[in-house]
Structure 1
Amino acid sequence: MSDAHEFLAARDFLLAHRERYDEAYATFRWPRLARFNWALDHFDAMARGNGRTALWIVRDDGDDVRLSFAELSARSDRVANALRALGARRGDRLLLMLPNVAPTWETLLACMKLGVVVVPATPQLGPTDLADRFARGGIRHVVTDADGAPKFDGLAGDYTRLVVGAERAGWTRYETAYDAPAALDPDGETRADDPLLLYFTSGTTAKPKLVLHTHASYPVGHLSTMYWIGLRADDVHWNISSPGWAKHAWSSVFAPWNAGATVFVYDYARFDARRVLDTIVGRGVTTLCAPPTVWRMLVGEDLGAYAVRLREAVSAGEPLNPEVIERVRHAWGLTIRDGYGQTETTAQVGNPPGQPVKPGSMGRPLPGYRVVLVDPDGREADVGEIALPLGDRPMGLMAGYLDASTTAQAMDGGYYRTGDVAERDADGYVTYVGRADDVFKSSDYRISPFELESALVEHPLVAEAAVVPSPDAMRLAVPKAFVALRGDARPSVDVAREIFRFVRERLPAYKRVRRLEFAELPKTISGKIRRVELRGLEERRHGGGTPADRAPGEHWEEDFPELRDGGTRDSGVGTRDSGLGTR
């Protein structure tokens, strides 16, 4: 017997309290689930006789793919039967490496119905990355496309291979699954704590960790994400994200379909801000979730010329600088609402609809999440590492990492520790400071890279920036910016001088960027900047803090005497703070 009624009651409560945050936060309780399979008990139930569009994919050539809830339910039943016929069993792990095509959603639903654990993988992975996932993830089955299949040629072993849209020796053509029997007979009940998803993290500071989620933690846990976005059943929701990463499951699967909304995707080959804006207008998108990089590209266009029908606009992935928020508000009368979560969780903190938004803040804890900040001594404080008390464990928290020692470290002292540092104000609003590993000290001041990077990217020539500590004999370390320029801009002494001048007008003396280097920024496959590489580079170069070790294209503030100004010069001595930034 399923506990679907418990899930629906919790869902309906949040939908009814969509703009009543205080009451929702105080009253909401996670559903009590023992047996629950979201695909069978929620999606299929919602899909019966339901001709509304569940999935809408628009391609660059203008071809639209629309599948109703009923059609997607039926297709996933056939795919499940085909996978079972090929040997897929409850608990097996299936690596899903597809772009934004209908089989991505069909396969996920089919695996949920079978109890097969899905290992999402971005199509950007190479053979070495895939070998690591096979070795550590215990992969038994693979679904990919014609572009992905050759990457598995060097991976020997007895595993099922399905390829979408192609014929390939040794592979089963995915489309034959549509001829499988229509009626699916589940092999038994699904427990809510059964494994469902195994994610590899992006690996910004270390080797990717393996995050295990259950049939409750992501499907049901994303009720918090549904609430943050403000989704309704009549929405056409576009989440600009790539399959293979947790954010795709967040807002292109569970959050919108929890609400019964349409999942929209524009499957472009190359990002073009004008075509994206034309698509938002032309396809009647009503809710949009996009990462800060996309929002920064969009505000470079004349937003006021686009008559969007957006009701809600949100951003996640990293904090969004206030200038972008203001440009969108001025053009469309909409406030981009920031939110925060991780691969390990659903949305923890956010600005839900109808609530005041404070510039720079990512909002308040969302219903179902008690969020605290913990100082280096493990005490709750107003500045510290974002942590979730395990005594009040949220349903959206992962079951754990696949490695038990990594889980024990992250959940030490009765908290799940996120590794992110934040500040909380008197109204309960939480402002992101940076990764605990990225925050550093200069002259006893605690420096958040994000704040400095936000100032840098406001310069019209700066496309991206990463700030790390550069060893300094007097200050211990000074902020150094690695900067990538926009378009046709070329690095030069004059550009460096202008950027130094620009940021010194926007930052207090103790936070100023003191060194700058024009460079291409190292990134993970998911596009996140690997500051750990840049920190290591600085340690090797400037361990002695001497100018002799400079790289080509590196500039120091002291090279420009005209920028000196005795009235604001930093003495190099600060007041002691809490020393946060180390775990």
Structure 2
Amino acid sequence: MLDPQSDDAQLDGSIPDVVAGTEFRAARDFLLDHRDDYDTAYRDFRWPKLETFNWAVDWFDGVLVVERPDQTALWLVEEDGSETKRSFAEMSSTAKQVAAWLRAQGVRRYDRILLMLGNQVELWEVMLAAVRIGAVVIPASTLLGPDDLRDRIERGRVDHVVARSADAAKFADIEGGWTHVAVGEPVQGWLAYDKAYEFGGDEAIEGRSRGDDPMLLYFTSGTTARPKLVGHTHSSYPIGHLSTMYWQGLRPGDVHLNISSPGWAKHAWSNVFAPWNAGATVLVVNQARFNAKALLDAVVRCGVTTFCAPPTVWRLLIQADLGAWTVPFRECVAAGEPLNPEVIEQVRAAWGITVRDGYGQTETTAQIGNPPGQPLKLGSMGRPLPGYRIVLADVLTGERVPDGAEGEICLDLGGEAAGDGSAERPVSLMKGYLDDDEHTAHAMRDGLYHTGDVAFRDADGYITYVGRTDDVFKASDYRISPFELESALIEHDAVVEAAVVPAPDPVRLAVVKAYVVLAEGHRPGPEMARELLRFARGRLAPYQRVRRIEFAELPKTISGKIRRVELRGQENSREGRGAHEYWEEDFPELKS
């Protein structure tokens, strides 16, 4: 599935492919020119299909460095006030030197590099260098422990590791013949990354990268099962993130701030490909612990024009007095999980800016979203983005469902499923799951790519998220979407986060239970439980009634997604109540 093709052309990989760069630019410019004209952009956009394409050489070096050599490409702001800036020309020069040094250490085309760094300059240097060489990067979070790393090295068949010196000890008991490269203080037995800056050799790239050559290998965040290995190519992510650029509303020269941790797909989405596709500056504000005031102070000082953050961050931001900052934002977006309408309303009231929701997966780029300048419907993720043909299919039969009915979000791959014959396989879709033909075939059955997410579409084409196929459940024979109930709960000032799952019940088989995280200054107890049960009751239909509440921290993946599957398992195996759990029956006045 991810095996590279033979390189029979053997073109010089260090010379930009003018045709590839021109076709990519034409597609990009079309979306920039129609950023406020969704109908035209969606109808007429076509993915460029390039036989050969190396984003680092053909786009970063061949266009950005030529046209924007002195513009800041990367801007890192640290908690102590120090800053690091690199221009496009400086990033290119250093990445070439790093590529040459890595080649000298044995890194070759198609080799796999586990990259485990924080938000530091070396992360972007290695990414650009690896793309130049044609090596395959496996991003890894610095939060991973030895067992997770062993799994990634073994299943990912890793050839080289580039990691922070502080994390070197995590690899001590992991066997294998992989190269060890430490970034930071010297580590015994590891190559010192700093030596790359002293290297004067030629990188001697082996050949031109083909568009369908492997480039990235992601481990999914595993909210319901063991992480799968998602394979992306030199086309699917660099070219595919044109849709992400369009959704975010990025323009050349923007200063783009994205809150995301390295190691996960969203970091590549909005800290690498989408902003640099647009010719924007990537800004990172490093914080060991989230601090809304410090973040917003940096936003104002650095002149951030476009901002992207996950719903968790937005929910924390609205706890602050947003009106105290005159922010320079032109565009604000959210992705990772659905954005609650209450958050959108509060940000709009404070700043006069509408936070635009979007949807995508590790397996794809941004599929659905609210692009700039388009009407927004609260609670909706938006409409299909250029290059994507969205089908909502019955979870059991696979047949298309009518507007208003719930169905699984699927991508039309063409063929018989295309209907009018206009659809084709999106360039932005993963090549497949590594060494897992069964999961790949299942995900791409019946001429569709199946996301595993459920939604419904209204008559205007707007798509509203319902939940994961595994998260939606029945209570008293009614179908329950956790997201809708969670959105109602976080409208209360005391609630920062909520997760809704079914709890076993002898009469109804299952009732709605909410796990709740309280805002600072609020304490768990019967009075708070009574207040939240009453509050939710006033905002939800009778069949959606929250009947149990437990105050507790929410289990999450390393990437920050709530693991409802863990909460469901806890409910099914639990005997008795949790330490801070309250039932509707505890409050007779709520029983009517």
TM-score range, shorter chain: over 0.9
Counterpart position of 1:553: 580
TM-superposed CA distance for 1:281, in Å, is: 0.4
Question: Residues 202-221 of structure 1: matches in 2 within 5 Å?
Answer: 202-221=221-240
The residue identity in structure 2 corresponding to 1:22 is D
**Secondary structure of the corresponding residue to residue 574 of structure 2:** helix
Counterpart position of 1:510: 543
Question: Residues 47-86 of structure 1: matches in 2 within 5 Å?
Answer: 47-48=65-66, 50-86=69-105
TM-superposed CA distance for 1:260, in Å, is: 0.6
Question: Residues 96-115 of structure 1: matches in 2 within 5 Å?
Answer: 96-115=115-134
**Secondary structure of the corresponding residue to residue 166 of structure 2:** coil
Counterpart position of 1:9: 26
Question: Residues 168-317 of structure 1: matches in 2 within 5 Å?
Answer: 168-181=187-200, 183-317=202-336
Question: Residues 87-486 of structure 1: matches in 2 within 5 Å?
Answer: 87-181=106-200, 183-375=202-394, 376-381=396-401, 382=403, 383-391=406-414, 392-402=424-434, 403-486=436-519
Instruction: State the distance in 2 between where 1:233 and 1:523 align.
Output: 36
Instruction: State the distance in 1 between where 2:574 and 2:82 align.
Output: 52
TM-superposed CA distance for 1:412, in Å, is: 1.6
Instruction: State the distance in 2 between where 1:287 and 1:438 align.
Output: 32
1:21 equivalent in alignment to 2:38: yes
**Secondary structure of the corresponding residue to residue 216 of structure 2:** strand
User: Over aligned residues, Cα RMSD in angstroms?
Assistant: 1.3
Contact 2:482 2:501 (8 Å CA) reproduced: yes
TM-superposed CA distance for 1:476, in Å, is: 2.7
Instruction: State the distance in 2 between where 1:202 and 1:36 align.
Output: 28
Contact 2:52 2:208 (8 Å CA) reproduced: yes
After superposing on structure 2, the runs of 4+ consecutive aligned residues of structure 1 that deviate more than 4 Å are: none
Instruction: State the distance in 2 between where 1:43 and 1:140 align.
Output: 26
Instruction: State the distance in 1 between where 2:477 and 2:454 align.
Output: 17
Instruction: State the distance in 2 between where 1:112 and 1:446 align.
Output: 46
TM-superposed CA distance for 1:344, in Å, is: 0.5
Instruction: State the distance in 2 between where 1:450 and 1:227 align.
Output: 26
**Secondary structure of the corresponding residue to residue 514 of structure 1:** strand
TM-superposed CA distance for 1:540, in Å, is: 2.0
Instruction: State the distance in 2 between where 1:329 and 1:456 align.
Output: 20
Contact 1:439 1:449 (8 Å CA) reproduced: yes
Cα deviation code 1:472-518 (max 9, x no counterpart): 23323111111222234332111111111111011111101111222
Instruction: State the distance in 1 between where 2:283 and 2:495 align.
Output: 31
Instruction: State the distance in 1 between where 2:427 and 2:500 align.
Output: 35
The residue identity in structure 1 corresponding to 2:431 is A
Instruction: State the distance in 2 between where 1:176 and 1:164 align.
Output: 10
Cα deviation code 1:260-279 (max 9, x no counterpart): 11001011222100111101
The residue identity in structure 2 corresponding to 1:465 is A
Contact 1:328 1:335 (8 Å CA) reproduced: yes
**Secondary structure of the corresponding residue to residue 478 of structure 1:** strand
The residue identity in structure 2 corresponding to 1:377 is T
Instruction: State the distance in 1 between where 2:285 and 2:551 align.
Output: 33
The residue identity in structure 2 corresponding to 1:432 is Y
Larger mean Cα displacement after TM superposition, 42-51 or 400-409: 42-51
**Secondary structure of the corresponding residue to residue 546 of structure 2:** coil
Q: CA 1:335–1:182 in 2, change beyond 3 Å: closer, same or farther?
A: farther
Counterpart position of 2:418: none
Instruction: State the distance in 2 between where 1:269 and 1:66 align.
Output: 20
Instruction: State the distance in 2 between where 1:299 and 1:342 align.
Output: 26
Instruction: State the distance in 2 between where 1:186 and 1:260 align.
Output: 25
Contact 2:103 2:203 (8 Å CA) reproduced: no
TM-superposed CA distance for 1:186, in Å, is: 2.0
Instruction: State the distance in 1 between where 2:343 and 2:173 align.
Output: 45
Instruction: State the distance in 2 between where 1:270 and 1:551 align.
Output: 28
Contact 1:237 1:286 (8 Å CA) reproduced: yes
Instruction: State the distance in 2 between where 1:210 and 1:217 align.
Output: 15
The residue identity in structure 2 corresponding to 1:47 is V
Instruction: State the distance in 1 between where 2:244 and 2:582 align.
Output: 43
Q: Structure 2: any 5+ residue segments left out of the alignment?
A: 1-10, 12-16, 415-423
Instruction: State the distance in 1 between where 2:204 and 2:73 align.
Output: 23
Instruction: State the distance in 2 between where 1:129 and 1:287 align.
Output: 34
**Secondary structure of the corresponding residue to residue 363 of structure 2:** coil
Contact 1:146 1:164 (8 Å CA) reproduced: yes
Q: Structure 1: any 5+ residue segments left out of the alignment?
A: 543-548, 566-583
TM-superposed CA distance for 1:465, in Å, is: 1.4
Larger mean Cα displacement after TM superposition, 533-542 or 512-521: 533-542
TM-superposed CA distance for 1:110, in Å, is: 0.3
The residue identity in structure 1 corresponding to 2:152 is R
The residue identity in structure 2 corresponding to 1:564 is K
**Secondary structure of the corresponding residue to residue 110 of structure 1:** helix
Larger mean Cα displacement after TM superposition, 469-478 or 172-181: 469-478
Q: If the length of structure 1 is used for normalisation, what is the TM-score?
A: 0.94
Q: CA 1:552–1:308 in 2, change beyond 3 Å: closer, same or farther?
A: closer
Instruction: State the distance in 2 between where 1:186 and 1:132 align.
Output: 30
TM-superposed CA distance for 1:303, in Å, is: 1.4
The residue identity in structure 1 corresponding to 2:400 is E
**Secondary structure of the corresponding residue to residue 313 of structure 1:** strand
Contact 1:74 1:182 (8 Å CA) reproduced: no
Contact 1:77 1:182 (8 Å CA) reproduced: no
TM-superposed CA distance for 1:59, in Å, is: 0.7
Instruction: State the distance in 1 between where 2:201 and 2:282 align.
Output: 24
Larger mean Cα displacement after TM superposition, 148-157 or 347-356: 148-157
